[in-house]
Amino acid sequence: MEENFENRYWDSADGLSLHYRHYDGRSDRPVLLCLHGLSRNSRDFANLARRHAGDWRIIVPDMRGRGLSEHAKDPMSYAAPVYLADLALLFEKEGVERVVSVGTSMGGLLTMLMAQTSPDRIAGALLNDVGPVIEQARIDHIRGYLGHQRSFPTWVHAARALQEVQQEAFPDFELEDWLALAKRTMVLGQSGRISFDYDMDIAEPLNAADPDAPAPDLWPAFDALSGRPLTLVRGALSTLLSAQTVAAMQRRNPEMEVVTVPRVGHAPTLDEPDAVAALDRLLAKIA
């Protein structure tokens, strides 16, 4: 399928060249901003962008160390405050005042923090399988694989490796689905080997964190999304976002729509019919 985006770049405060996909769309609406997860990249939102480009101007960044963005010189800059500073410079470059933010996992955390630090920026939001509380078992699971350099001779080998790790999250995936996921998350290198498309050093801040330290209180960041259209998409099999956390989020924000995607864990691809319909409803409230 022919792509309808332009590859653009912006500079970070510490001199990195950072990449984003830009899709043209209506200038009388907020920008549709798509923020990927911890080890993912802008390709995660290709199908979503194809559905909405034209009706919405869409910006999909590769956060530093992912995709076509440069790797950080200081691994400890792989942190939320730096990501937010990077995004602020992107908004300045593109003249973006308001966004509808679609954030998967880490991208959803950034969405909440953006609402807290720049409340006028957010016109609406979709949080994809993330909330103010992240289950410790999931953090331990992420530590077990993040930053482990692996490479594969063929796309089928890469797909099978993903299946080994994520089978419980996507029990209904067939080989073609695993291949599609591999091509979202990995890249063919100059050596002819296929490897994950992120800087392995993104694991350093997570590994350096004190596991016994109390988790940061993200409830004020979630509360900052009140008063505007908000949708929470959760995978029914998610091990990152618990049903108890979802219930607490609903109590604090009864206007939030909650959509549970059946037989999917962390995180829904947002190509599932329930997720597609949920985003359509959210955007209809804002348009």
pLDDT given for residue 67 in this prediction:
98
Q: What distance in Å separates the CA atoms of residue 139 and residue 198, rounded to the nearest whole number?
A: 18
| Token pair for 66 | 């992912």
* Residue showing tokens 């089978």: 167
Asked, for residue 83, whether it belongs to a domain, the answer is yes
Evaluate if residue 212 carries a pLDDT over 90.
no
Number of Cβ atoms within 10 Å of the Cβ of 82: 18
pLDDT given for residue 251 in this prediction:
98
Q: What distance in Å separates the CA atoms of residue 252 and residue 232, rounded to the nearest whole number?
A: 13
Number of Cβ atoms within 10 Å of the Cβ of 234: 28
pLDDT tens for residues 146-191? 888 899 999 999 999 999 989 999 999 999 999 999 999 999 988 8
Give the CATH number for residue 271. 3.40.50.1820
pLDDT tens for residues 39-91? 999 999 999 999 999 999 999 999 999 999 999 999 999 999 999 999 999 99
The whole domain housing 248 covers 6-135+217-286
Asked, for residue 80, whether it belongs to a domain, the answer is yes
pTM: 0.96
From its phi and psi, is residue 65 left (phi > 0), alpha (psi between -120 and 50) or beta? left
Confidence of residue 213 (pLDDT cuts 50, 70, 90): confident
Confidence of residue 2 (pLDDT cuts 50, 70, 90): low
Could you give the C-alpha distances from 101 to 61, 64, 70, 231, in angstroms and in order? 12, 18, 23, 11
Evaluate if residue 144 carries a pLDDT over 90.
no
Cβ within 8 Å of residue 48, ≥6 positions away: 34, 102, 270, 271, 279
Total domains in the chain come to 1
pLDDT given for residue 143 in this prediction:
82
Asked, for residue 65, whether it belongs to a domain, the answer is yes
| Token pair for 102 | 């679609």
pLDDT given for residue 1 in this prediction:
44
pLDDT given for residue 211 in this prediction:
79
Q: What distance in Å separates the CA atoms of residue 112 and residue 114, rounded to the nearest whole number?
A: 5
pLDDT tens for residues 19-32? 999 999 999 999 99
Averaged confidence pLDDT in the chain? 95
One-letter amino acid of 264: V
Asked, for residue 259, whether it belongs to a domain, the answer is yes
Asked, for residue 165, whether it belongs to a domain, the answer is no
Q: What distance in Å separates the CA atoms of residue 213 and residue 201, rounded to the nearest whole number?
A: 22
Evaluate if residue 225 carries a pLDDT over 50.
yes
Asked, for residue 31, whether it belongs to a domain, the answer is yes
* DSSP output for 116-154: HH-GGGEEEEEEES--S---HHHHHHHHHHTT---EESS
Q: What distance in Å separates the CA atoms of residue 266 and residue 273, rounded to the nearest whole number?
A: 16
Confidence of residue 137 (pLDDT cuts 50, 70, 90): confident
